[in-house]
Amino acid sequence: MALRPVRMEKVGLVGLRDDEERILTLLYDLRVAQIEPLTPEEMAELAPERGTETVREIGDEALRFRGLLTALPPVGPPAPRRFDALAEILAVAKTVPIDLEVGELKREDDRLATEEKGLRDTLHLLDRLAFYTDRLEYLRSGSFLSFYGEATPDALAELLRTLPSESDARLLPGPTEEEESRFVLVLRPSGAEALARSAQGQGIRLTAIPALDGTPTEERARLTPELGRITERRTWIADRLQGIATEWYPTVASIAEALDVENRKVEVLAKIGAGRATFALEAWVPARDAARLRSIVQAATGNRVYFYEVPTTEEPPTIMGNPPGVRRFEFFIRFYSLPQADEWDPTLIFAIVFPLFFGLMLGDWGYGLTILLICLWMIRGFPGAQHLPRAGRNFVKRIMGPRGMQQLAWALLPGCALAIALGFVYDAFFGFHLFQYLFGWTPLIDPLTPRSVTTFLLLAGYIGLGMVTLGFLLGALKAYFHHHRREMIAKIGGTVFAWGIAGFGLSVIHYHTIAPPLDPVVVASIGALGGGVALLVAGEGAFGILGLIDIVSHILSYTRLVGILLASVVLALVINDIAVLLFHGIPIVGILLAAIVIVGGQAFNVILGVFEPGIQGARLIFVEHFSKYYTGNGKPFRPFGARRTHTLSSLNEDGTGLAGPYIQGPSP
C-alpha cells in the first residue's frame, strides 16, 4: 500500500510486419499498454502505418454484425469462440445468411410499434372523450381547431380568460374527477399561439382531436380489433426473431466482438510507424507489468521483437493502485481531481481521515445506525425505491447517479460505525440519554458540558495541527523529489510556524495571558515562529508572509468538527424538548403533534447528519490539507484493449502466459 500512483514506464518495440496483427492482439488482451503516437522525429524515419486493404471490409462487417446483434434478442451466455486470424473472422462472417430476413422483420416491427403506440394513445383519448356523444367529424374543420384537455377548474378559468376574443373559443365541458375537469376546446386558428402560450403557463396539456368520423364509442369499437391484429403480428415477429437468435446469436455475438477487436486495432494504426518489413510503436506501461508484457510478446513471436525504454519528460498517465478497501475512496479523489503520476496519491489518507471526521461530527448511535441502514440499502441497489415519492427520487438523482450513491454509501459505512461507538460513549440516541433514562447510567462523556467542549476543541486543534503538518511534510517531500529547493524550504517553514503558533497559543491558554512567562515551551514556540517566518520568506519571498494567515486559519478550521457535533446535539435536544412539551399538552392532539415533530424533526436531522459531516469532512481534507501538496489534473490511463465476453483471449486465464495456438508462436 503506497501513497504514490503506480509507476509508469514508456517503452517502445520494433517488430516484423508479419507479426503486427499477433502483437496487437496480445496488447489488446493484456490491457496494460496505452499506445502513444510516435514523435515527428521518429515518423521522419518511418511511414505511417496504413493497414491492409481489408480495413474497409472490417468496418462494413462490424457495422453489419452490430446491427444484427441489436436486432436479435440475447440467448443465454454463449460459449466463447476462438478466432486465430482476421481471415478466419471474415470467412465465418460471410456464412451468416440472416441479414435480409432479420432486417425485414425488424423494420416491420418498428413500423408496427409506431402504429401500436398511436392506436393505444388514440384509444386512451377516446376513453377520456366518452362524455362527448356526437360524431368526431363535427370537430374537424378548416375554419377552427379542436383540442382535448384536462385541468383544475381554476387553471381552466385562467386559460379561457387569457384567450383573445377574436379566437371565438367555445368550451365543451366534461366531468370533473379528482379536482380535474375534462373538456373539449374549439377555437379559430388565429388563437392557437395564445392558447399554446397560456396552456404552457398553466401547466395544461392539450391534445388535438384525432381525425376520426364516428362517435368515440363507435371509433373505439372499430380500432380495438386493429390493435389486436398489430399485437398478434408483433408477437409472431418476436417469436421468429427468437427462433433465429436461438440458432445464430452465439455466432453473431462472437463475430461482432471479434470485429470490434479488429476495429480497435485499426484505430491505433495511425499511431504506429512502419517500414518496408518492420513496424514500431511506443506505449505507456505500468512498471509492474513491463516484464510480463515483454515475456509474452517475445514468446508469441519467437523473440523477433526488440524492446527499448523511451527516455521522456512527458507527464505519464495515472493509475491509482490502491487495495480493494481503500479503492472505494478513489471516487472522492477523482471527483476532486485525478493525481498526477509523479505526485502523492492521497486516497489512503482520505480513507482513514474522512470516516474519522464523519464519525466525530455525527456522534449519535441512533443517527449512525439509521444512516448505516440507509447505506446498506443503497449498496444493495435501492430495492423498493419505486415506491418512494417521485419528487424525492428526482431530487436524489440530481445530486448524484446510482453508481455514485453506492460509492458514497461504502465510504460512509466506517464513519457510521464510529458514530455508533461514540454514541454509546456519549449515551446519545437521537439526542436522548437513553441508557441514563432506562438504567440510570451516567454517560462516560457528555458533549455539552463546558469541560467536554474545551477538551473537544483542544482535540480538534491537535487534529488540525496534525493534518496541516502532514500536508506540509508531503509538500516538502514532493518539492524535494521534483528538485524545487525553495518550495521545499517554504513547506518546512510552514511546518515550523504551525508548531510555533500551536505551542504559543497553548501557553497563552495555560497562563491566561497574551504575554506568558518565558518558560522553555514559550521560548521554543517563539523561536519556531521566527524560524518559520524566515523559512517562508526565504522560500516564497514576500508572498510567504501572506501564507501565515492561511496556516492559522487552516488549523482553526478544524474546530468545525466540534461545532457540527454540538449543533447536531443541540438540534436533537430542541426537537425532543418540543415534542415532550406537546406530548404533555392537549390530549390526543398533543400526542399527534409530538409524533409529527419527532418524526419530521429527527428525519431532518438525519439528512443534516449525512450532508454536514460528509461535506465538511471532505472540505477539511480537500481545502485545508490538500492545498499543501496536491496539484491534481492528472491524465487517466487508458490502455488499449478490453475484456472479452464472446471470444477467447490469446492469454491463459490468469493472464500470465499464452493460450491456444499462440503458445507455438509463428512459423520461422
Grade residue 514 by pLDDT with cuts at 50, 70 and 90. Answer: confident
DSSP letters for 448-488: TSHHHHHHHHHHHHHHHHHHHHHHHHHHHHHHHHTT-HHHH
Q: What is the pLDDT of residue 402?
A: 75
In a domain, 515, yes or no: yes
Classified as helix, coil or strand, 47 is: strand
How do residues 423-433 score in pLDDT, each as one tens digit?
999 999 998 88
Nearest partner of 30 among 415, 392, 296, 404, judged by Cα? 296
In a domain, 643, yes or no: no
In a domain, 509, yes or no: yes
The reply to whether 352 and 487 lie within a common domain is yes
Q: What is the pLDDT of residue 47?
A: 76
Mean pLDDT, residues 30-44 taken together: 89
The reply to whether 483 and 616 lie within a common domain is yes
Range of the domain at 124: 114-228
From the number of C-beta atoms within 10 Å of its C-beta (0-12, 13-18, 19+), residue 50 rates as: exposed
Beta bridge partners of 170: 186
How do residues 302-356 score in pLDDT, each as one tens digit?
999 999 999 988 999 999 989 888 999 998 999 899 999 989 999 999 999 999 9
The one-letter code for the residue type at 540 is E
Give the gyration radius of the chain's Cα atoms. 36
How do residues 477-494 score in pLDDT, each as one tens digit?
999 998 899 999 999 999
HSE-up of residue 313 (Cα within 13 Å, Cβ side)? 1
Q: What is the pLDDT of residue 515?
A: 73
Average pLDDT over the chain reads 88
DSSP letters for 108-130: HHHHHHHHHHHHHHHHHHHHHTT
The reply to whether 362 and 511 lie within a common domain is yes
Quote the CA–CA distance of 643 and 624 in Å, as a whole number.
40
In a domain, 124, yes or no: yes
Q: Which of 187, 206, 228 delimits the end of a domain?
A: 228
Find where cell 485525478 sits: 338
Q: What is the pLDDT of residue 667?
A: 42
Residue 183 is part of a domain; what is its CATH number? 3.30.70.2750
Q: Which of 179, 213, 228 delimits the end of a domain?
A: 228
CA angle, residues 96, 99, 103, in degrees to nearest 5: 160
In a domain, 255, yes or no: no
Q: What is the pLDDT of residue 26?
A: 93
Q: What is the pLDDT of residue 85?
A: 84
In a domain, 534, yes or no: yes
How do residues 640-661 score in pLDDT, each as one tens digit?
999 999 999 988 887 778 876 6
Nearest partner of 15 among 293, 235, 256, 213, judged by Cα? 293
How do residues 591-617 score in pLDDT, each as one tens digit?
888 888 889 999 999 989 888 999 999
Quote the CA–CA distance of 395 and 14 in Å, as a whole number.
55
In a domain, 187, yes or no: yes
Q: Which of 164, 196, 228 delimits the end of a domain?
A: 228
Mean pLDDT, residues 25-46 taken together: 89
How do residues 180-193 score in pLDDT, each as one tens digit?
889 999 999 988 89
Q: What is the pLDDT of residue 383?
A: 82
Q: What is the pLDDT of residue 110?
A: 95
User: At 652, phi and psi to the nearest 5?
Assistant: -75, 180
Q: What is the number of structural domains in the chain?
A: 2
The one-letter code for the residue type at 14 is V
Residue 543 has pLDDT above 90, yes or no: no
Mean pLDDT, residues 206-214 taken together: 91
How do residues 355-382 score in pLDDT, each as one tens digit?
999 999 999 999 999 999 999 998 888 8
In a domain, 275, yes or no: no
Q: What is the pLDDT of residue 668?
A: 40
The reply to whether 451 and 589 lie within a common domain is yes
State the pTM of this model: 0.79
